[in-house]
Amino acid sequence: MLSVLVTGISGRMGQAVQQAVTQNPETNVGATHDVGIELAPVLEKCDVAIDFSHHSFTAELLAEAVKTQKSLVIGTTGHTDEERRLIQEAAKSIPIVYASNFSVGVNTLFWLTRKAAQILGDTCDIEVIEMHHHHKIDAPSGTARTLAEILCAETGMSYTDDVVHGREGMVGARPQRQIGMHALRGGDVVGDHTVMFATDGERVELTHKASSRMTFASGAVRAALWLQGKQAGLYNMEDVLGFSTI
């Protein structure tokens, strides 16, 4: 039985992960963590931590996990470049699954986006549109950023230089080598993501819509189980699902 530490337990995703861990016959909740609770004692009792808290907590979690040689599943988004560097450094010592989205459907969208960009990327205008509930604090979503990074990798564009976050005013004609990013917020939307490839006469749209956080939580538990026995390294959900070999 895999003993799991669930962080950010007071948040929506933390509660969903706790439910998913409890429902899985191969896992149990060894401990939970939230702001104000000392990390070391609760992490020591568990085999792996699943983190959907806040990016500001990541450095502390990484340091303690490396110290105690515990595996990590990180689903928190909004990390700074320095925090991403810390994740990469920690992965030299412990196995980590770090993903912007743990849904099987979304990771299928990642794979399809990569293939579509290889076929259409040089001939189409590319736009990414995402929508989430009004409580979400980061924009664009981590999933939308991953989609844009995939598109940049396949088309030779740069996330820093070629991704435009919304448009306003007299911006002029749209250059082809540009990726538009649009973040919508409202209501209780769990997460919608669309990648659009548009050219004269036709348009291809790849869309994923989530209606329950449990799809993400169950995917995170699947990743935690997959990590058992893995060597130190930085993995993503496509590795967990075997998409990286397709």
Active site amino acids:
132, 136
For 36, 169, 183, 217, the CA distances from 39, given in Å and listed in that order, are 9, 48, 34, 21
> What's the full length of the chain, in residues?
246
**Taking Cα atoms as reference points, which of 193, 95, 91 lies closest to residue 142?**
193
Contact 27, 69 (CB under 8 A): no
Region for residue 195 given its phi and psi (left: phi exceeds 0; alpha: psi -120 to 50; beta: otherwise): beta
Residue type, 239: D
3-class DSSP assignment, residue 188: coil
The string of DSSP letters for 138-186 reads SSS-HHHHHHHHHHHHHHT--HHHHEEE---SS--SPPSS-EEEEEEE-
Cα gap 13→202, rounded to integer Å: 38
Contact 204, 59 (CB under 8 A): no
